[in-house]
């Protein structure tokens, strides 16, 4: 599939086209180009049934946990936002109502103890985040809300759509330069 740069498209459309069309950056498939789907065959395995099989890494309802088989033991957390041209991740770290949290609050003249028992604070420079067809995405509350409230697989287009309308707290698991999984984090 060949891609061309987006010109004059709305915020969510261009990034979603990149995710769905397999373009490596915010690009739009050329007119008439169609994604190529693999041919179905008798040897194609059925879709995974358990949550662990569908989500290789555990978002932990907002506080990621280690899971055997997850290729990145420590995810990066951050605020994900979309622009007409790209997704941007602004890293954060989560502080609790403990000595480290108290010291941070004093140094920044912020209220302590934190109202939700935690506080997400900036932790590094913003950078672009590129999702591919192989990236797994999950939601919990703003992305694909459903009852009971728990982490569940969603399309990356759904996650991107929300991130282009409002900042979204996420965990990102990366191996090399490949984004393996992006999961919305529950932040009440």
Residue 188 has pLDDT above 70, yes or no: yes
- Residue 24's H or E segment, with its range, is none
Provide mean pLDDT across the span 182-187.
Answer: 95
Pick from 27, 21, 39: which is nearest to 132 by CA? 21
Asked, as a colleague might, if the bond just before 28 is cis with ω within 30 of 0, I would say: no
Residue 2 has pLDDT above 60, yes or no: no
Handedness of CA 48, 52, 57, 59 (dihedral sign): positive
Q: Is the pTM of this model over 0.85?
A: no
The predicted structure's pLDDT at residue 9: 26
Q: List the structure tokens of 121.
A: 């604070």
Pick from 154, 187, 168, 177: which is nearest to 60 by CA? 187
Rg from Cα positions in the chain:
18
Q: Summarize pLDDT for 148-163 with one digit per residue, the tens.
A: 999 999 999 999 999 9
Handedness of CA 17, 19, 22, 27 (dihedral sign): positive
- Determine phi and psi for 27, rounding to 5 degrees: -135, 160
Q: Report the phi/psi class of residue 125: left, alpha or beta, with left for phi > 0 and alpha for psi in -120 to 50.
A: beta
Cβ–Cβ under 8 Å, residues 27 and 1: no
Q: Summarize pLDDT for 11-68 with one digit per residue, the tens.
A: 333 343 344 334 433 333 334 433 333 333 344 444 544 554 589 999 999 999 999 9
Q: Summarize pLDDT for 74-133 with one digit per residue, the tens.
A: 999 999 999 757 999 999 999 999 999 999 999 999 999 999 999 999 999 999 999 999
- Residue 188's H or E segment, with its range, is none
- Residue 89's H or E segment, with its range, is strand 87-96
């Amino acid at each position: 599939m060949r891609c061309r740069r987006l010109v004059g498209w709305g915020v969510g459309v261009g990034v979603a086209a990149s995710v769905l069309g397999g373009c490596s950056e915010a690009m739009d498939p050329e007119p008439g180009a169609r994604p190529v789907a693999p041919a179905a065959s008798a040897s194609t395995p059925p879709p995974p049934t358990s949550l662990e099989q569908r989500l290789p890494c555990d978002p932990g309802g907002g506080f990621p946990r280690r899971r055997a088989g997850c290729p990145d033991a420590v995810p990066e957390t951050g605020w994900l936002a979309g622009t007409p041209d790209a997704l941007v991740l602004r890293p954060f770290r989560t502080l609790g109502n403990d000595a480290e949290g108290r010291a941070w609050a004093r140094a920044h003249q912020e209220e302590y103890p934190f109202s939700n028992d935690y506080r997400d604070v900036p932790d590094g420079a913003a950078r672009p985040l590129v999702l591919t067809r192989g990236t797994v995405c999950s939601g919990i509350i703003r992305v694909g809300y459903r009852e009971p409230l728990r982490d569940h697989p969603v399309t990356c287009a759904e996650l991107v759509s929300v991130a282009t309308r409002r900042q979204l707290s996420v965990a990102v698991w990366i191996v090399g330069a490949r984004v393996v999984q992006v999961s919305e984090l529950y932040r009440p």
